[in-house]
Amino acid sequence: MTADEIVPQIAVVIVNYNTADETAASIASVLAMTRTPTEIVVVDNGSRDGSVETLRARFPEIAVVDAGENLGFAAGVNRGVAHTTAPWVLLLNPDTVVLDGAIDALLAYARAHPEHRVYGGRTVRPDGSTDPSSCWGAMSLWSLACFATGLSTAFKRSRIFDPESLGSWQRDSVREVPIITGCLLLISREDWTLLGGMDETYFLYGEDADFSARAWEHGMRPVIVPSATIIHAVGGSTASSGRKMSMVMAGKATVLRRRWHPAAAAIGIALLQVGTAVRALPAGARGRRGTTWQVVWGHRRAWRTGYPASRPALFGDAPAEPTTRTTDIPLGGKS
């Protein structure tokens, strides 16, 4: 069988926004470390750094879709999947490096355990320590109350007081989880179509929580497969962390408004605001300015409405943050 006759089994979809070098490194790792025949599609969300030209020149064997504008993550992913044909779809962050055999192991597990239908892996930081952002617990009134009272920060990684973090679990054992993030997510094309892809109401953050919730409603059982390990770069300045956390909060507010009963959603959003104040006010009292939570508090009128209303205030015409899910932060993940 010639190379042209090899039928791709996995469609790897990456959304890029002004991250040409990081995306190129991620693509190179997929090509070098994956034995399963793959097709790779990069959707460029209106980058200004020459990403489209750079990626097309470096990787003529992949498809680079020039969206021409900032579609956001959900719409970008949907656009990318629509350009693929493989029977399995893999969402991958642009700031990741795939380790040897990771994608092969994820697909092998999915084929051997078809009952789960949605699959994630283990992410580690460049230094080898666990990056927990491959999965999270779902929001509940209890988890939001813990956030509002500061318990999720005081008892970080506690299964009781920081439940969205899933406790101290290092993502090193097979486990069903409420939410698998778009950092590394495998699903069959049939199930992707059944779920209708990502909800494009979400611009950035929250869409994978919504996606996973719909998966559970359809009888799927999202699971983490630790043999599928990738490196995920995480970092950023305090200012950018404040902007990013504001976007996370907008995603959470959207999940609450779209998936919870209106009365419960109102309580949940109120708890988000209280928790933000609990973290922002002490720094202000000490004369510190521009901390992560002060920035989030300052943006509260924007994020508490949820998407799509939150988008103009948080992003404008030239967002300061990449719309590629460069990290995923639970409520208790930053103090």
- The residue among 118, 98, 92, 91 whose CA lies nearest residue 188 is 118
Inter-CA distances, 176 with 58, 119, 166, 226, Å:
38, 9, 11, 12
Residue 157 lies in a domain: no
Out of 232, 264, 285, pick the residue that ends a domain: 232
Out of 181, 208, 232, pick the residue that ends a domain: 232
Neighbours of 195 (CB within 10 A): 20
Helix (H) or strand (E) holding 77: helix 73-82
Q: Are residues 204 and 176 in the same domain?
A: yes
Rounded Cα distance, 256 and 251, in Å: 9
| Residue pair 245/334 in contact by the 8 Å Cβ criterion | yes
User: Into how many domains does the chain fold?
Assistant: 2
Please give the residue range of the domain that contains residue 270: 238-333
Q: Are residues 180 and 112 in the same domain?
A: yes
What confidence score (pLDDT) does residue 233 get?
85
Q: Are residues 182 and 310 in the same domain?
A: no
Whichever domain contains 30, its CATH number is: 3.90.550.10
Residue 148 lies in a domain: no
Residue 147 lies in a domain: no
Q: Are residues 61 and 206 in the same domain?
A: yes
CA–chain centroid gap for 192, Å, is 16
Q: Are residues 179 and 271 in the same domain?
A: no
Out of 186, 210, 232, pick the residue that ends a domain: 232
Q: Are residues 180 and 270 in the same domain?
A: no
Q: Are residues 29 and 46 in the same domain?
A: yes
- Amino acid identity, position 332: G
Rounded Cα distance, 97 and 310, in Å: 32
Query: What are 111's two structure tokens?
Result: 């084929």
- pLDDT tens digit at each of 335 positions of the chain: 445 458 999 999 999 999 999 999 999 999 999 999 999 999 999 999 999 999 999 999 999 999 999 999 999 999 999 999 999 999 999 999 999 999 999 999 999 999 999 999 999 999 999 999 999 999 999 999 999 999 999 999 999 999 999 999 999 999 999 999 999 999 999 999 999 999 999 999 999 999 999 999 999 999 999 999 999 986 543 447 888 899 999 999 999 999 999 999 999 999 999 999 999 988 766 767 778 999 999 999 999 999 999 999 888 744 444 444 544 456 544 33
| Residue pair 13/94 in contact by the 8 Å Cβ criterion | no
Q: Are residues 250 and 320 in the same domain?
A: yes
pTM for the model stands at 0.92
Residue 327 lies in a domain: yes
